[in-house]
Structure 1
Amino acid sequence: MGIVRGDGGWNVENNQSQDPQPMKKKLALNVVSNKEHRGFGAGSIDLSQVSPVVIDGDEAYIDVGAMHAKSKVEKGIKFSPDKANVPNGRQVWIVWVAVDRDEEGSFYGGASACEMLVDTEARRGWKLLAEHVNRMDAAIKRRFLLENLGASDKAALRKLLQEHNAEWWDRSPQILKDQLA
């Protein structure tokens, strides 16, 4: 028995085995911490502090299914990048909210909203996937892009963030409070 280096990594060679198989690195989404990381999967983004909030009408709620386009409002809907395919769609927002932490404690560190149109009856919807990805990236980078929300949408989001954790809201940057005023 000996240790051999294969193309896929280190493996223990068993003399009784006819066909030693090298260990393979599995490709997966790596969620990494704030530590310096330069190994396999370097360049991955940390989604552990990002949550999707859905604003549907006057209601705002956290729906982690939106991370994979499987929120309550997205299930069973066939999405198109052409708005004309959804003439009777209602406006629904996904707001990516990032939580940050400093010496005083946690706070809402970034938030960015992106629009969808959903026609539940026709099971059709409109959204631009690239916009959702870019807006999530903006929240991860601790930016606030909420200018496209209407007054009732802002009120629903503000209420949810305050009720979810009033201390986080109090410690959040003034720019968030101003954008949701």
Structure 2
Amino acid sequence: MSEKMHFTIISNDSTDGDGGYGVGSIDLNNVTPVIIDCENEHVYIDVEALHGRSKIEKKVRFAPDLAHASDDYYRYWIVWVATQIGQNGPYYAGCTASEVRVSKEERRIKLGYKSLPEQVNYLDKALKRKFILDHIDSNSKKLLYQFLSDFNEAYWEHSPEELKQQLTITEGV
């Protein structure tokens, strides 16, 4: 019953025209949030992350302090994947990741860590066609590589070498 999620592609630009309403706003039509669940080694699309309402963010009180998530926590990455259509077809044009931690402690409202300014900055950098993935752990890189390359072979083939290099895991390092 689960419907396969799709990456969004650029649609009409609301900032065209007379320079009135909407000018200066960010068009999020070409960015898709991908969640990496490190503990369960699961990667999936959750569009609600664009509004801070992803499955991992619900019923969590976040603070920008790592200690807020305690010593025993679930670790996630919210990966901002920007797509674009080029001469050869669609491709991954930008990709960045920000960390989220949620305490494993059983409570009605869990405690967690995320840096909202960091998330916004990484989202902005993905939209500006940057690839910033060096800070994520090697297993998460492997999971993201598998997800992006398997999701749509054409997207992966047309993507810049910089993305492929950042997701390449060198054994023994």
What's the TM-score once normalised by structure 2's chain length? 0.82
Structure 2 counterpart of 1:110, from 89, 94, 114: 94
Instruction: Verify the 8 A CA contact 1:111 1:146 in the aligned structure 2.
Output: yes
> Which portions of structure 1, spanning 4 or more consecutive aligned residues, are displaced by more than 4 angstroms?
none
Identify unmatched segments of 5+ residues in structure 2. Answer: 1-10, 169-173
2:171 is matched with none
Q: Does 2:143 align with 1:156?
A: yes
Q: Distance in 2 between matches of 1:50 and 1:157?
A: 16
Name the Cα RMSD after superposition.
Answer: 1.6
Write out per-residue CA displacement over residues 91-149 of structure 1, whole angstroms, 9 at most, x where no aligned residue: 21000000011111100000000011111434110011000000000000000000111
Indicate the SS of the match to 2:78: strand
Comparing both chains, which one has the higher relative contact order based on Cα–Cα distances under 8 Å and sequence gaps of 6 or more? 2
2:124 is matched with 137
Identify unmatched segments of 5+ residues in structure 1. Answer: 1-30
Residue 35 of structure 1 deviates from its aligned partner by 6.5
Report the more deviating stretch, 73-82 or 116-125.
Answer: 116-125
Q: Does 2:13 align with 1:33?
A: yes
Where in structure 2 are the equivalents of 1:1-181 lying within 5 Å? 33=13, 36-37=16-17, 38-57=19-38, 58-87=41-70, 88-120=72-104, 121-122=106-107, 123-181=110-168
Q: Distance in 1 between matches of 2:43 and 2:138?
A: 13
Identity percentage of aligned residues: 41
Instruction: Verify the 8 A CA contact 1:52 1:96 in the aligned structure 2.
Output: yes
